[in-house]
Amino acid sequence: MKASLQNFKQSPRKVRLVADMIRGKRITAARDALVFLPKKSSPEIQKLLDSAVANARSQGFAPEDLIVKTITVDKGAVLRRMKPMARGRGARINRTMSIVKLELDVQQNKEQKTENKKEKTKAEKTPTKSKKKSLTS
Predicted confidence at residue 29, as pLDDT, reads 93
In a domain, 136, yes or no: no
Angstrom distances, CA of residue 89 to CA of 63, 81, 82, 83 = 55, 13, 10, 9
Predicted confidence at residue 128, as pLDDT, reads 63
In a domain, 71, yes or no: yes
Predicted confidence at residue 75, as pLDDT, reads 95
In a domain, 134, yes or no: no
Total tally of structural domains belonging to the chain: 1
Global pTM? 0.73
pLDDT in tens, the chain (137 residues): 899 999 999 999 999 999 999 999 999 999 999 999 999 999 999 999 999 999 999 999 988 889 999 999 999 999 999 999 999 999 999 999 999 999 999 987 666 666 666 777 776 766 666 666 666 65
74-96 burial string, b = 16+ CB within 10 Å, else e?
eebeeeeeeeeeeeeeeeeeeee
In a domain, 129, yes or no: no
In a domain, 19, yes or no: yes
Is the alpha carbon torsion for 56, 58, 5, 35 positive or negative? Answer: negative
Contacts of 21 (CB under 8 A, 6+ apart): 33, 37
In a domain, 80, yes or no: yes
In a domain, 124, yes or no: no
In a domain, 67, yes or no: yes
Domain that holds residue 56: 2-111
Q: What is the CATH number of the domain that holds 18?
A: 3.90.470.10
Predicted confidence at residue 131, as pLDDT, reads 65
**Residue 97 host element (H or E):** strand 90-106
